[in-house]
Structure formats: C-alpha cells, structure tokens
Amino acid sequence: MTASAPADSTSGTLYVVATPIGNLDDISARALKVLKDVALIAAEDTRHSMRLLQHFGIQTPLAACHDHNERDEGGRFLARLSAGDDVALVSDAGTPLISDPGYHLVRQAREAGIKVVPVPGACAVIAALSAAGLPSDRFIFEGFLPAKAVGRRTRLQALVEEPRTLIFYEAPHRILESLKDMADVFGADRPAVLARELTKTFETLKGLPLSELCAFVEADSNQQRGECVVLVGGHTAPEGEEAVSAEALRVLDLLLQEMPLKRAAALAASITGVRKNALYQAGLERKS
C-alpha cells in the first residue's frame, strides 16, 4: 500500500460502519449516531440500507457504492469528502470490506489523505469464531471458496497443512458440496463447526467431525438454508511428529528444485526456524 497523504484538516471523514448480520439490536449506539450525523451514506444496496435507516428513524441521504461502481464512482464520494462532508460507508450486513464492497473507496480515501475511521460492530466471521469452541488464538479467514469444484478443491488442498483454525463463508446452495470436499481433502475426522443464521431465529452452531457434519447437513434440508460460516480445526501433526508449516514446506520445495534433500532441509531450517530433522522427514515423504 502506498503511504497515505497527510490528512487535510478541511476534509470530511470517511466512517466505515458495521451494521447487524441479522438481529437489528446488534447495531451500536455510535453507529446510529454516525449514520444520523454524516452528510451522505455510501451503501452497497441503497434499498436494503433504506430499510435499516427507516427502522431507526434516520433520514440521511444514501448513494450506491457497490462492486460494480465502486472503482469508477469512488471519485464522487472523494469529492464530497474533500469538500468537507463526512460520509459513512455501509454494506448490506456486517462489516464493510469483509467479503463486501468498500476496499477501493477506503484505499482511495486514504491515498487522498482523507481520514478513515472504523465504527466496529457485527461481523459473521468473528461472531462464529467467538462461539465455535475451536482454537481462536490464531485463525485464518478464507472468505468464499471458488464456486466450481476444481477451483474449490485446489484452494482446500493448499490449506491441508494450515495449523490455524480455518474460517470460510459459504452460500447455502453450496454448503453440502463444500463440506464434502472439505471432508475429502482435510480428512473425515477433522473437527468442524457449522455456524448458521447467527443472531437470527434459527441460529445453529453444530460442531462435529467433518464427515459427520456432512451427514448431519445432508439429512436435514433446513441445514442447507440461510447464511452460513464453516470453521475447521487447523492441521495438527501426528503424535511424535513436529508440525511443518505450509510456508516451511513451500520453502523446502523451492530449495529441493536446486539442491539435494539434506542441504535443502538444512537451509530451509535456518530460513523458517523449523527443525532440520522435521524438514528432512517432510522432504522424504514428499519425494515418496
């Protein structure tokens, strides 16, 4: 990212405002105040956000800021901000930019030296993680997997040895095939949690090994409806075997193209900090 220009004190502020992911009570008092006070709200879908504003009696004007116009129309919002108007950015649900539009506008604003302020709130990935009971000290958010099976399995394959908790968004009509691919690629026994319809009437958090989670979802078509987050426990090395991270394996693979295993393992060990023996073993397994 290029360094942002120094903030211009006459410019307005771009507020990035989180809205609820279901339960309207999850909007913060600060979010409501900001939405009421700004000159303009840049919204992913103006009709959708209009309903939220009407519910809270807010009359601030709305303008569209979605995936298709964000890059070209960003200038319109920047002009308003540069002229001194405060603007709030919202998406249909949850936190803007998190699998939602807003990235280009935020980036452009920062590059133009406009102050960008987050107004935090609901976010499905964090809500799901907070209640899933899987390790939460380190996790990775993968957003939506590719819709087509080949692309999806390739992406999952690249994550097989990822030790951190994995979090995915998924569309309901693809949940079953995605879970089946996860069970195939990560293994039937990997712990997983399906977090569905969070904060809504039919909220479900179901934790089972992947193969059993597939069976549970397949047996009940209701589980294939609504909005869902899938969380999968990270890779754990078999007992007695040291975990070799995906990054360490990538380094090892690159070095193996240039030198024998013993030397590659030693060099990869000094680059990544993983023990030489563990890398040597991993190299042997890869060769076989």
Residue 29 CB, nearest approach to ligand SAM (Å): 19
Instruction: Give the nearest distance from C-beta 223 to ligand SAM in angstroms.
Output: 12
Least distance from ligand SAM to the Cβ atom of residue 226, Å = 7
Closest to ligand SAM by CB, 48 or 275:
48
Cβ proximity to ligand SAM: between 11 and 223 the closer is 223
CA 124, CA 21: separation in Å to the nearest integer?
Answer: 7
- Using the minimum distance from each CB to ligand SAM, give the nearer residue, 23 or 236: 23
Question: Pairing state of beta strands 40-43 and 139-144?
Answer: unpaired
Residue of closest CB approach to ligand SAM = 94
Cα separation, 193 vs 182, in Å, equals: 12
Nearer to ligand SAM, 125 or 210 (CB): 125
For every residue of 63-86, DSSP letters joined together read EE--TTTHHHHHHHHHHHHHTT--
Closest CA to 35 of 11, 55, 5: 55
Applying CB under 6 A, the residues found at the interface with ligand SAM are 21-22, 91, 93-95, 98-100, 123-125, 169-171, 195-200, 227-229
- Cα–Cα distance measured from residue 78 to residue 169, given in angstroms and rounded to the nearest whole number: 31
Residue with tokens 């980036």: 107
Q: CB neighbours of 183 closer than 8 A, spacing ≥ 6?
A: 190, 210, 211, 213, 214
Bridge partners (DSSP) listed for residue 119: 17
Contact (Cβ atoms closer than 8 angstroms) between residue 144 and residue 124 = no
DSSP state, 4? P
CB of 166 to ligand SAM, least distance (A): 14
Task: Return the number of the residue (228 or 282) whose C-beta is nearest ligand SAM.
Answer: 228
Query: In the complex, what is the shortest distance from the CB of residue 36 to ligand SAM, in angstroms, rounded to a whole number?
Result: 22
Q: Which is nearer to ligand SAM, 74 or 101 (CB)?
A: 101
Angle of helix 276-287 versus helix 261-272 axis, rounded to 10: 130
Minimum CB distance to ligand SAM smaller for 12 or for 101: 101
Closest distance of CB 69 from ligand SAM, Å: 17
What is the nearest approach in angstroms of ligand SAM to the Cβ of residue 97?
A: 7
